[in-house]
Amino acid sequence: MSVDVLLGLQWGDEGKGKIVDVMAPRYGMVARFQGGPNAGHTLEFDGIKHVLHQIPSGIFRKDIKNVIGNGVVLDPVIFRREVEALRERQVDVRSNLYISNKAQLILPTHGLLDACYEQSKGNQKIGSTLKGIGPTYQDKIARLGIRVGDVLEDDFTDRYRALVEKHRNILDYYQYSYDLEEREQAFLEAIEHLKTFNIVDTVYLVNNALRHGVSVLAEGAQGSMLDIDFGSYPFVTSSNTMIAGVCSGLGVPPSRIRQVYGIFKAYCTRVGSGPFPTELHDDTGERLREIGREFGATTGRPRRCGWLDLPALKYAIMINGVTQLFMMKADVLNDFEEIKVCTRYKLSDGQVAEEIPYNIDHHKLEPVYHTLPGWEQQLNGVKDFDQMPGALHTYLDYLEQELQIPIGIVSVGPDRTQTILNPELSLG
Ligand code: GDP
Ligand code: IMO
Ligand code: MG
């Protein structure tokens, strides 16, 4: 069988958690392949909202195996909190969750280093979630990291202490003051908790499943514009959020990948610093934030809001080889008289660009907009494509024409049920 992939095409928070939950019954396995607790994936059903950070969003479907792949960085303290929050809601993750022994461990000092590096950046801060993501991937690449499988080894504590010592030296160099004691105690307790879970070689687990006819849905975190190689560097996260991350983060060959589902909001948001050409600093931006409840699922920070950016979306579609698009949060635009879409950028030298410039400086470029009529009606009762208002059809047709990829899902609310499937396309 094959691997289908769901990837965020913007700056994260496109609604990946909701859609993975909706799609999961079509698969036998859901797997996270990169990122860590910087992710906040929200799903809603039966009137309850869940936010997952490291546990895959297929966890509520009992018959499905959920995998935390080798490309993920795992914080055992946050993991423990997530497990406990789920248990309070009668969801037992122990039987259908598998954690890669090759995933990297986030230590308490990684979080401290994250904060220390951010502080040292002055007005060039990335706006990191400060979950220790960057420093943990840094140690992985430097071949210093500690992996989840190491917690089962006799010398784990020695290795932990040795790495902490290295981190302390860096923190001292920066004259960064910190208190490790409390964090360390919680960490060591969380390690004992982590040991009781299924820690396995998920590379074999996933590939054996594929060989035996199980189909896999790979759940992306963040979005392509935050990719370490292809995003707006240095204002990015520290992993490959794009399609290549699936192969390196799960150990599956590219030939196994079938559908690449690209998910985007009907407008744009970004949390943290970095270029955002269509950002709105006016009442319209404020309206999008209020109606869309655009506040971070991990940090609670207000998200920056703006109109849809087609050059950025086309770029993300190009690098990922997207086969089908899912458009989220259409309902947020219900009351807008008109909707704008950026088609090109006008540069400071007067030239017009359809491609994203190197070292993009959003202060020096001006989006060129195409304006479409709003549908100015509620989408609550809309259950299928035929019932959609004409202006929404016009919006979708326009995007399909521009992007040359069909739109398979339109989401009209946060709940599992508020999902409209395109009858002409097949999923899963
Ligand atoms: P993720 O990180 O990609 O999983 O997305 P987040 O969970 O961080 O952010 C998406 C937010 O939008 C969450 O609060 C969802 O509950 C909400 N959401 C998802 N789809 C829709 C939709 O179609 N309409 C509305 N109004 N909210 C949605
Ligand atoms: P999900 O999976 C939105 C952003 C941070 C910051 C930059 C680097 O929920 O879509 P990091 O903590 O990785 O060092 O932060 O990336 N960021 C996200 N923004 N959604 C996310 O995840 C994000 N994960 C990281 O705000 O700008
Ligand atoms: Mg999120």
Q: Is 110 a catalytic residue?
A: no
On average, the pLDDT of the chain sits at 96
Instruction: Give mean pLDDT, residues 259-276.
Output: 97
Which ligand places an atom closest to the C-alpha of 20?
1
pLDDT at 297 over 80: no
Which residue's CA lies nearest to atom 27 of ligand 2? 272
Backbone angles phi, psi at 408, to 5 degrees: -95, -25
Q: How far is the CA of 356 from the centre of ligand 2 (A)?
A: 20
Backbone angles phi, psi at 101, to 5 degrees: -70, -10
- Residue 145's pLDDT is 98
Residue 310 DSSP class:
H
- Residue 30's pLDDT is 98
Share of the chain above pLDDT 70, in %: 100
- Residue 349's pLDDT is 87
- Residue 277's pLDDT is 95
| Cβ pair 193, 129 in contact under 8 A | no
Residue with tokens 């506040």: 295
Which residue's CA lies nearest to atom 26 of ligand 2? 272
Determine what percent of the chain falls in helix, strand and coil, rounding each to the nearest 5: 35, 25, 40
Confidence of residue 300 (pLDDT cuts 50, 70, 90): confident
Residue from 13, 75, 309, 331 carrying the catalytic annotation: 13
The full 3-state SS of 109-125, as one line of letters, equals HHHHHHHHHHHHCHHHC
Backbone angles phi, psi at 49, to 5 degrees: -105, 130
Show the ligand 1 pocket: residues with CB < 6 angstroms.
Answer: 8, 12-18, 40-42, 44, 293, 297, 328-329, 331-332, 411-414
Strand blocks (E) in 226-273: 257-265, 268-270
- By DSSP bridging, strand 324-328 and strand 352-353 are unpaired
Using DSSP, state whether 138 is helix, strand or coil. Answer: helix
- Residue 340's pLDDT is 98
| Cβ pair 181, 200 in contact under 8 A | no
Whole-angstrom CA distances from 36 to 50, 76, 260, 413 are 17, 11, 21, 26
Q: Is the peptide bond before 234 cis (omega within 30 degrees of 0)?
A: yes
State pLDDT tens for residues 155-200: 999 999 999 999 999 999 999 999 999 999 999 999 999 999 999 9
State pLDDT tens for residues 59-68: 999 999 999 9
Confidence of residue 428 (pLDDT cuts 50, 70, 90): confident
